[in-house]
Chain A
Amino acid sequence: MSRELQSFDFRSSGYERPNRRWVCGRAADGRPCRAGPDHRGRCRAEAECHPRLEGGRYLCTRPESAGGSCAEGPLPDGGCTHRPLPCTPVPSLRARRGRAARWAAVFAVGLLALLLGSPAGLRWLSPGELSRSHASIGDCGTCHASAAAGPVGWLHAALVGTPEADDPASDSRRCLTCHRSGSEPFAAHGLPSARLHPEAPSQAAGHPPVIITGGGLVQVGLRLAGRLSGAPGGEGDAALPCATCHREHRGLAGDLEAMGDLQCQTCHAVKFAGFNAGHPEFEGYPPVRPTGILFDHVSHMERHFPKSDAAHRPAQCADCHRLDAGGGQMLTVGFETGCAACHAGDVRGTAAAGSTGVSLFVVPGLDLETLRARGAAIGGWPALSDRPLAPFMALLLAGDPALRDALATFRRLDPLDLRQAGQSEIDAVVAVAWATKALLFDLVAEGPGSLRPRLETALGVPIDGTRLRALAGGLPLATVRSAARTWFPDLAQEVARHRAGLPVPMPEAETATPAAEQTAAPAPDAAGSTDLLGNDGGGDAGGDGGLLSGGAPAGGDLLSGSEPATNDLLAGSGSEGGDLSGGDQADGGGLLSGGESGEGDLLAAPGGSTEPQETTAAAPATPPVTAELPQPDPERWSALGGWYGDYFALSYRPGDHADPFLKQWIEVAGASRGAPAAAAGGEDLLSLLTAKDAPGRCAECHRLVRQADGSLVPDWRARRPEPGRQDFTRFRHQPHFDRLSGRARSEGCLTCHRLGRGVEASAAPAAAGGPDFRPIERATCAECHSAAAAGESCLLCHNYHVGPVGHPPPETATADPGKTAGD
């Protein structure tokens, strides 16, 4: 059978209305009533037709599509004979679809209400998990300023705006709670724009020339991007919020630093497709950075190493350089390991031609005859001193503001020839002389602590206890007291009289310099100074020295035997023989001398006269033994470092590398350069300590870095990685060592670091930290760094954030001010 089921003839076909909301409940059974339900879903199955009254009779009006007029016809009252069975109308397909849609909307609203109202509502609303580094942040308000506002606040922020929501950097500022990002965190590279423009002209800053190198569609894309959007960022301190590059809420494994190479070039005038496609050639890479250690690789490797002992010179680069813990930088191994073999003697002064110590306290030589003739009242003064006023001493005296003019006058004079000096100049010399005595007296009386106010005044820098301790260098009391007694036997009385305003005339010429006019202070550390026969007598014996002292500086000792005892009663060395007991090196005329010659000396031990023989007659008949304490050169005696008195000066000899005494004096002298209140003197001191042949030779290897305030700070350490700082370029040696294990092994470090003066050699000599190596060329890196090999992404070698970056230490209060101990 092939027949059409449907009929579209209006006589036999009903009119479908699928957009009605209700359908007959019997439609699914295939027997819907013709009327169908009303629009409210009520059944209207009352009749199959509404009979029509015509000529006094009711006529059936059932349409032909429903079977036509029925045979029974209407009832007499006009009612229909056929009453269809009532049904329960059902929603139409369309209505059911609408109902499903509404339910879906209601479900969505309910779900949102449930989520927003739940305690973990914010977690549900979070756009994703935080990355690992931020995963511990539990509170949205830590990073989002609007978090605390709640749903109403969010709506307000979205519709009307709030200061926090409208400020592009409001959230980014919260990043800075934990992160440092340069001096201007939201500027390009965290740097002031003025610092960037000369190097990388920015489109945003109105630098139109765009140079595009390389090839391909990249050029077109970058050009279009620049035209369309320009460089990112706006003006002010919110130019580049953190979220410009760092996208959070991308899951635990989210990469916060994901960045395309081309994005880096958005702001850069020179645009290129890749490291091997247009990247500019390196210009002076690695950059010449002044290092703390002045080391000339070229001269060492070409001149010094070949001439040095093979056991001392380094065999390879790694003998002097070590990788840092992070595998990034190559560090130097330090003085003891890398330099001491050749340079330890320079520091200790063992190979020095001149003096190896620095004189802190000096008795300056004066023209005593002129002073005496001019009636200068300076008391006793060593006649043999011809020392100049050393920088240390000048600095200490400059610490007295009242003395500055006199000191300035004194420094212009030749204090050893004052014959032409005017009265004011004589007065200045007198003032300096008394200041010298007072300084020594105070040093004995009050210790090195008395130097602090003088130093602070003279240097113009604060000196705390730690620094003062280092500056004093462990100056021993015995050495100072011994020196005071030797140089100024009547120091206490003279200073007391002077401070009391009493005149202290100079002694007469023959007695002007007491017997103690020795040339040296006691032995370096005055060990054994309190012995009865010691050098200084410890001050207890009531005299000016040990009773039978035999050391060199035993000035005024009764039986002293050192060379210069010219006026001692029983002095016996080196004198002109006029003394009662002289005899050590004289011609034997000393009465009680016991030196080598010893002929006829009254108390001489060897080969003496009959008197001793009588004495020894009762003693065993053993020959007498001649023995004396050795008299070493104090400076040489102090080869291991420390204080020694020698020739009217208290001097210090550095013992080893990094001597704290010298370090501290260089530091304070350098700091005084930037101190506006500093007195003159620091400059000379700095020159003294940093001279090429200065004790310790500190400045031969350590650079003085000039600071913004003019002060000079010594750079004691070789360059070290600074964990909190980043440069534009980064390089890690460790991975490159792995690469060098193959092809270029024979060249090793020289694969990249080729010895020779760099391009800036003329501008920055090696001695000043200039380049010892030729700049590295891009092609050297490009041998490995390509897209197919070691990679060539921008961030492989470049940092965006430069300067101080990282995490500042947390601000943790040690005590809650709102709480007391008893709480």
Chain B
Amino acid sequence: MSRFATRRLRNGLAGLLAMALLWTVVELRGLTMQDSGRLTGWLLVAALVVLGAYNLRKKLPVLPLGDSASWLQLHLYLGLVTALLFFLHGGWGLPDGPLEILLWGLVLGLLVTGIFGLALSRLAPAALTWHGERVIHERIPQLRRRLADEVEELVTRAVEETSSGTLAGYHVNVLKRYFARPRHRWYHLVRSKRPLRHLCREIEALKRYLGPGDRAVLDEIEARIVAKDNLDFQETWQGLLKGWLFLHVPLTYATLVMVPLHVVLAYAFGAGRP
């Protein structure tokens, strides 16, 4: 068994054990009509704090707080336990009060985005590897620019050499726009190569109208079209990997603001709860 599998098994079992323990305690307390609201509530608060502390840990890499990989593991499995804790605390249905609904929505959003991020972190690397060269996200605009410049230079040179306007026209009408910015994000999201195939078919069709020199240039341009397609794919999926945090992190902050009010109200108005 690989190290990764061993880690997943170990952490998964620990998470399941924690879930089972929580569920059992809450159920047993329910049997004896002991309100578990405060128990699960404080556990939830503690879990949210620990989960949120991962963000702090990333901001303070100099502090000896353990390696980020361990924190990520903790974040993942504790997040799954927190999901169960959340439902044990608030019930399985939509709450009734406006504030409760808001808080419920925030926490549920946190859980959903977290699970989405977890799924992305498992799916995206494979997809990125499968598609082509993996590039650093921040470099993609430069690489795209470089490809665009190279294509322009190829076309310019070809026009100078062959005086044919076909290639130049195709560049102006199609290629310039294609290389100017990321294209076909939605197709890349579903891992479709349809736009690329369409372009390739156009190029094949265009070759019939070109001379041998231009055809060689067009082959080189086609290679850069494929590279640009890969850049778009990489940017789309890496953007997803970074973009889901635009939901997850703000939701965390909003939740952490709402939770203290909920706690205060629970204590101020919760007299009589056993």
Contact = CB atoms under 8 A, between A and B. Distances in A.
Interface of A: 1-2, 4-6, 14, 16, 18, 23, 27-32, 93, 96-98, 100-105, 107-109, 111-112, 115, 123-129, 140, 144-147, 149, 153-155, 157-159, 164-172, 221-222, 224-226, 228-233, 240-245, 249-251, 254, 260, 262-263, 266
Given A5-B231, A126-B98, A229 B28 contact: yes
Given A18-B138, A127-B96, A167-B271, A100 B249 contact: yes
A5 B97 contact: no
A123 B35 CA distance: 24
Given A229-B34, A241-B274, A126 B143 contact: no
B135 interface: yes
B271 A249 contact: no
A365 B224 CA distance: 142
Contact of A225 (B29, B265, B269): B29
Q: How large is the interface on B (under 10, 10 to 19, 20 to 34, 35 or more residues)?
A: 35 or more
Contacts, number: 207
Given A6-B136, A104-B254, A112-B261, A229 B32 contact: yes
Q: Which of A105, A254, A266 has the most CB of B within 10 A?
A: A105
B244 to A, nearest CB: 10
Interface stretch (B1-9, B144-152, B195-203): B144-152
Nearest to B100: A127
Nearest to A153: B268
Contacts of A101: 249-250, 252-253
A254 to B, nearest CB: 8
Nearest to A250: B96
A475 B252 CA distance: 90
Contacts of B245: 97
B141 A266 contact: no
B63 interface: no
A144 B273 CA distance: 12
Interface in B122-142: 133, 135-139, 141-142
B111 to A, nearest CB: 16
A241 B34 CA distance: 11
Contact of B265 (A2, A125, A128): A125
Query: Among B35, B141, B227, which residue has the most Cβ atoms of chain A within 10 A?
Result: B141
Contacts of A100: 246, 249-250
A146 B272 CA distance: 12
19 contacts: A1-B219, A2-B223, A18-B138, A30-B142, A105-B256, A108-B253, A123-B98, A124-B99, A125-B98, A127-B100, A140-B269, A144-B271, A146-B271, A155-B264, A159-B264, A170-B271, A228-B28, A260-B31, A263-B31
B97 A128 contact: yes
A28 B141 contact: yes
Contact of B143 (A2, A5, A166): A5
A221 B31 CA distance: 8
A140 B270 CA distance: 12
Contact of B32 (A4, A153, A231): A231
Contacts of B148: 30
A263 B226 CA distance: 67
B30 A157 contact: no
A268 to B, nearest CB: 12
Contacts of A109: 257
Given A27-B141, A30-B141, A228 B98 contact: no
B27 interface: yes
B48 interface: no
A349 B69 CA distance: 103
Contact of A147 (B100, B141, B143, B269): B269
Contact of B273 (A107, A224, A241): A241
Contacts of B223: 1-2
Contacts of B27: 221
Contacts of B135: 5-6
Contacts of B99: 115, 124-127
Contacts of A146: 268-269, 271
Contacts of A172: 272
A742 B81 CA distance: 53
Interface in B197-253: 219-220, 223-224, 226-227, 231, 242, 245-246, 249-253
Contacts of A125: 97-99, 265
A109 B256 CA distance: 10
Given A29-B145, A101-B249, A170-B271, A251 B28 contact: no
B33 interface: yes
A127 B31 contact: no
Contacts of B242: 93, 97
A165 B143 contact: no
Contacts of A140: 269
Contacts of A14: 139
Contacts of B147: 5
User: Which 8 pairs of residues, A with B, have the shortest CB-CB distance?
Assistant: A30-B145, A128-B96, A1-B223, A104-B250, A154-B268, A158-B267, A241-B272, A225-B31
Contacts of A98: 249
B29 A229 contact: yes
Contacts of B141: 27-30, 32
Contacts of B102: 111
B12 interface: no
Nearest to A130: B96
Question: Chain A interface secondary structure, helix, strand, loop or mixed?
Answer: helix
B254 A108 contact: yes
Contact of B25 (A155, A228, A241): A228
Given A97-B242, A154-B264, A159-B264, 6 more contacts: A1-B220, A5-B231, A14-B139, A107-B254, A128-B97, A229-B32
Contacts of A263: 30-33
A103 B253 CA distance: 9
B165 interface: no
B135 to A, nearest CB: 5
Interface string B10-41: 00000000000000110111111111000000
Interface string B140-170: 0111111110000000000000000000000
A74 B223 CA distance: 39
B88 interface: no
Contacts of B133: 4-6
A5 B274 contact: no
Nearest to B31: A225
A104 to B, nearest CB: 3
A5 B96 contact: no
Contacts of A221: 27-28, 31
A307 to B, nearest CB: 58
B271 A165 contact: yes
A765 to B, nearest CB: 43
Nearest to B249: A101
A232 B224 contact: no
Nearest to A252: B96
**Central interface residue in B95, B100, B226, B274, by most chain A CB within 10 Å:** B274
A262 B257 contact: no
B271 A232 contact: no
Contacts of B137: 18
Given A128-B95, A158-B264, A224-B28, A243 B145 contact: no
A288 to B, nearest CB: 33
B32 A232 contact: yes
A753 to B, nearest CB: 36
Contact of B257 (A112, A167, A224): A112
A22 to B, nearest CB: 13
B74 interface: no
A512 to B, nearest CB: 85
A232 B34 contact: yes
Contacts of A233: 274
Contacts of B257: 105, 108-109, 112
Nearest to B61: A19
B175 interface: no
Nearest to B147: A5
B272 A170 contact: yes
B258 interface: yes
